[in-house]
Amino acid sequence: MKISTTHQRFGDNLDNHERTLEFLGPNWRDVLNFWLYLDTLSPEQILILRDRYWALDAADFAFADSLAWNAARGATSIEKASRIFDAVAGNDSSPATMELVGSHKILEQGKTLTFVPMFLNL
């Protein structure tokens, strides 16, 4: 199995790559595929993504970020979600990763994903 840069960093953070799946919850396949996709993005695509983040209203960003974080905690655990966040913090995928981890929880609430769609058509 190919491992993305983010997966490698996350596994190193855990000191055990096999435990990654237990931390990512039921959407682990989506998260791992997303992390692989991140490795294919060019610098130009990353700039487009950053522009999309900055185009969000601050209140909308804060609401979506909080929703993603709370859904991720509901999909795994507070401790595990914190470890995921620590592994991806500071990179452009952080909000989208947390949103993917808890995407089923967000959709169960009748809400939509905000960050993941930003990665489409880059």
Contact at 8 Å (CB) between 65 and 99? no
* Helix residue ranges, H only, 39-77: 43-55, 58-75
pTM reported for the whole predicted model: 0.87
- pLDDT tens figures, 50-92: 999 999 999 999 999 999 999 988 888 777 778 777 777 667 7
The structural domains of the chain, with segments of one domain joined by +, span 5-119
C-alpha distances out from residue 14 to 27, 58, 73, 86, 111, Å: 19, 33, 18, 11, 31
Question: Which stretch of 12-16, 24-28, 72-76, 109-113 has the lowest confidence by average pLDDT?
Answer: 12-16
- pLDDT tens figures, 87-117: 776 677 888 999 999 999 999 999 999 999 9
| Residue 9 tokens, joined | 């960093």
Residue 35 has pLDDT above 60, yes or no: yes
